Structure 1
Amino acid sequence: MCRSILMLLIAMWILIGPASSQPLFEDSKAFDPSSETAMAITGPVILSTKRMVFETGRFLDLEVHDPKSSGNWGASGDVPVAQVFRVSGDAGPLRQGNTLCGDQPVTYMATWSEDSSGFTYLGVAMFTGMEPPAGIAGQALCATYFFSMDVPE
């Protein structure tokens, strides 16, 4: 009996995946920047599976491409799963006139959660190009941003 329950739990974990593989949901949530790149370029953001809104009021529309994309994600490349989104729109200049990917349009975005130094962070990677990303080591990676997952609502 215990073995059957254990096998069922393992099967559910494999099918559903870890909770950290899906840091964004349909409901919008605010995130404060925690990396220097996010502080300098995006500032605080509001994110959902449909849109990323910046403090300037500009936004990117998102469409889920792969809710559980296997690959090498995270700051060190050791996060196994991320959400990948197709991106439409152009956020244009953000903080201090900076843009998300220089003069290249953002075509895909990946998000994941990871723990570091006792804190949980939202990682966001921006990509250019037509091919969906399979990790942060891809040539189409143009920027990574990290945000605090613990913003009071």
Structure 2
Amino acid sequence: MCRSILMLLMTIGILGGPASSQPLYEESKAFNPSSETAMAITGPVILSTKRMVFETGKFLDLEVHDPKSSGNWGASQEVPVAQVFRVSGEAGPLRQGNTLCGDQPVTYMAAWSEESSGFTYLGVAMFTGMEPPEGVADQAMCAAYFFSMDVAE
């Protein structure tokens, strides 16, 4: 399933080459959804290195696991570094009753920025495994969400 998501994103040309790999900071920032998955499930989010907050008011607590995790990140799998976080909490149902990873609890999250067609996107991948992820091809990846790096209104 995760490979299908990546192939779909590459096929429709949403994302392309690498950009900065450290998109999240201690200070919270708002992001608008830019992928169909993010539009359907998360809506706009507020993210920092400590928390991901959804429009429903529900949130996930984040703890930095590796601020510069080497691997194959991004829709192109060409982003060499991402921030990896341990996740605690459960966001539960979000938009239209959808959840982040189906019936699986999210255990890790990776974040990176990626450029395509002159735009910069925030990529966020969710993982359900007990081991820290090493890239978006990891078997434990359950979903990928992409957001505009512009502030949500």
Q: Is TM (by shorter chain) over 0.5? A: yes
Structure number having the greater helix percentage: 1
Measured at CA, do residues 136 and 19 of structure 1 come closer, stay the same or move farther in structure 2, by a change above 3 Å? closer
Greater Rg over alpha carbons, structure = 1
Identical amino acids, percent of aligned pairs: 89
Match of 1:21 in 2: 21
Instruction: Quote how far apart the aligned CAs of 1:117 are.
Output: 1.2
Q: Deviations over 1:25-75 (max 9, x none)?
A: 000000000000000000000000000000000000000000000000000
Match of 1:142 in 2: 142
Structure 2 CA distance for aligned equivalents of residues 91 and 122 of structure 1 = 20
Please say if 1:125 is aligned against 2:121: no
Any idea what SS the aligned residue of 1:70 has?
strand
The residue type equivalent to 1:44 in the other structure is P
Q: TM-score, normalised by structure 2?
A: 0.86
Structure 2 CA distance for aligned equivalents of residues 152 and 113 of structure 1 = 16
Q: How many residues align?
A: 136
Structure 2 CA distance for aligned equivalents of residues 42 and 52 of structure 1 = 10
Any idea what SS the aligned residue of 1:21 has?
coil
Structure 2: segments with no counterpart, 5+ residues = 1-17
The residue type equivalent to 1:37 in the other structure is T
Please say if 1:95 is aligned against 2:106: no
Taking only aligned residues, the RMSD between alpha carbons, in angstroms, comes to: 1.4
Runs of 4+ in 1 over 3 A off after TM superposition: none
Q: RCO higher in 1 or 2 (8 Å CA, sep ≥ 6)?
A: 2
Structure 1 CA distance for aligned equivalents of residues 90 and 99 of structure 2 = 9
Q: TM-score, normalised by structure 1?
A: 0.86
Match of 2:48 in 1: 48
Any idea what SS the aligned residue of 1:37 has?
helix
Any idea what SS the aligned residue of 1:96 has?
helix
